[in-house]
Amino acid sequence: MTTVFGKIRDLVSSFLRSSESYEEAVNSFIRELQKEMIKADVNVKVVFELSARIKERALKEEPPEGVLRREWFVKIVYDELSRLFGGDVAPDPYPKSFPWIILLVGVQGSGKTTTAGKLALFYKKRGYRVGLATTDTYRPAAYDQLKQIAETIGVPFYGEKSGDPAEIARKAVATLLNEYSCDVIIIDTAGRHGYGKEESLLMEMKEIAEAIKPSEVILVIDSSIGQKAYELAKKFNEWTPIGSIVITKLDGTARGGGALSAVVATGARIKFIGDGEKLEDLEVFNPRKFVARILGLGDLESLLEKFKAIEESDEVRKRLERAIALGRISMRDIYHQLKSIKKLGPLRKVIDLVPGFSMLKLGDDMLKGSEKKIDSWIAIIESMTYDELDDPSIIDRSRVRRLAIGSGRTVNDVRELLNYYELINKMLKDLKRGKLRLKGVDLSRLGGEAG
């Protein structure tokens, strides 16, 4: 992956170490970032919009406590780049039904046959019974190429050296299904048409698709075509609702960034990326992970952890502020808080981050039982029905017993949680009525914000 945005990682570390003023450093970072993006063939307009957003946030946003301004800038760049490459969508590569039939299409040389092998290995490693087939009768060596890959991986193979591709595909599915009981079937095609001839490529795809009714059609795109990938992905996306995309050769070209961002812009789903010639060189495309890597955040993991903790405690705070404003807290909020506390580790620290929380003395009771109690309350809440979550007052004696059994805890644990729920709600109510005062919490502000 070194050639895709090879320099950005260096930019980040020199930014963090630079002796320039913050503003100067931001400006030179953005300048260099633009150069790198344009070199990677990312659309110029997109590059300028991206840098404008980064700059605006960089000058406007105040980092949260405990975070250096420069660190926060890296977080901004991380967010904005992630957005460019698809944001928080992480694809689900697992079969939704059986047999799961994947039809691979794409122009010749894009990496279809290699990707067929990579996918076969990917699914085989995860315990599926995979079968490989080719309908490529166009190139004489195509049959042998995939057959050999199938042998290397150790999965059944079906192919014919001549004939009608749609008919071969139909027979391949029948054979792999009936004789080998495959549950994931991957069909490679010829894709004899070059770029710019999308229509004929899609026609070929349609004929085969009609014959075998694939579960998923995967378009293979060679990343070296850069932003030209836009047209192809767009047409493909319009043609099939069951399509996703693999971008290959991200290891071998500087234009991969252009291809990725262009495909994301069409709204098509990038499911996998290929970054090498070996069968192992395939990964599920996760935009955030991808960006973390090009930014070199893998080395700055603690920084990422810090950001995550901040986001999480922000969410906890927001929920609590709302609860204070409303004068009540729901079981769902409590659940969310317990989960966050668990994720964030040291209880005290987190609770202190939340205004009002420590003063409400919510912490102390909970702290006594530590981790174990939190686990047990989480388990109990997870056993609740929607009705119970919405209105815990309906939890009578028999429901208490059911919850205890369902969560593998004791009746006492359930009672304790319900008492806690009532106590905290009573406090919030008193607070709202002004019967209880909290030092350091400006309730009028909280009320206004939630309104």
Which residues sit at the interface with Mg ion, rule CB under 5 A?
Answer: 112-113
Strand-strand pairing, 157-159 and 216-222 = unpaired
Site for ligand GDP contains 131 (CB under 6 A): no
144 binds ligand GDP (CB under 6 A): no
Contacts of residues 12-16 at CB distance under 8 Å and 24 or more positions apart, as own/partner, are 12/74, 12/77, 12/295, 12/296, 12/297, 12/300, 13/296, 15/70, 15/73, 15/74, 16/70, 16/71, 16/74
Number of H helices, E strands in the chain: 19, 8
Closest distance of CB 225 from ligand GDP, Å? 13
Per-residue tokens: 354: 């939340």
> Residue 300: phi, psi to the nearest 5?
-110, 40
Q: Which does 109 bind (CB under 5 to 8 A by kind): Mg ion, ligand GDP, none?
A: ligand GDP
CB-CB contact of 58 with 33 (8 Å): no
| DSSP one-letter code for 97 | S
Cβ proximity to ligand GDP: between 44 and 141 the closer is 141
Q: Which does 106 bind (CB under 5 to 8 A by kind): Mg ion, ligand GDP, none?
A: ligand GDP
- The reply on whether position 243 binds ligand GDP by CB under 6 A is no
Minimal distance in Å, beta carbon 386 to Mg ion? 51
**Cross-strand bridge partners of residue 220:** 246
**Smallest separation, CB 248 to ligand GDP (Å):** 4
Q: With CB under 6 A as the contact rule, which of the stretches 244-252, 305-313, 316-324, 362-370 interacts with ligand GDP?
A: 244-252
Distance in Å, CB of 104 to ligand GDP, minimum: 8
- Select 145 or 337, whichever has its Cβ closest to Mg ion: 145
| 279 lines the binding site for ligand GDP (CB under 6 A) | no
Question: What distance in Å separates the CA atoms of residue 304 and residue 256, rounded to the nearest whole number?
Answer: 25
Instruction: Give CA separation, 439 vs 241, 313, 348, 360, in Å.
Output: 57, 21, 18, 10
Smallest distance, ligand GDP to C-beta of residue 2, A:
12
Residue 343 CA to chain centroid, in angstroms? 19
224 binds ligand GDP (CB under 6 A): no
Would you say 112 or 249 has its CB closer to Mg ion?
A: 112
Radius of gyration of the chain (CA): 28
Give the nearest distance from C-beta 245 to ligand GDP in angstroms: 14
List, in sequence order, the alpha helices (H) in 159-245: 165-178, 198-212, 229-239
Nearest to ligand GDP of 1, 67 (CB atom): 1
192 binds ligand GDP (CB under 6 A): no
340 binds, among ligand GDP, Mg ion, none (CB under 5 to 8 A by kind): none
Binding residue for ligand GDP, selected from 106, 159, 243, 363, defined by CB under 6 A:
106
What is the rounded distance in angstroms from the CA atom of residue 217 to the CA atom of residue 233? Answer: 12
Residue 91 lies near ligand GDP (rule: CB under 6 A): no
Asked whether position 249 contacts ligand GDP by CB under 6 A, the answer is yes
Q: Which does 276 bind (CB under 5 to 8 A by kind): ligand GDP, Mg ion, none?
A: ligand GDP
For ligand GDP, the binding residues (CB under 6 A) are 106, 108-114, 191, 248-249, 251-252, 274-277, 281
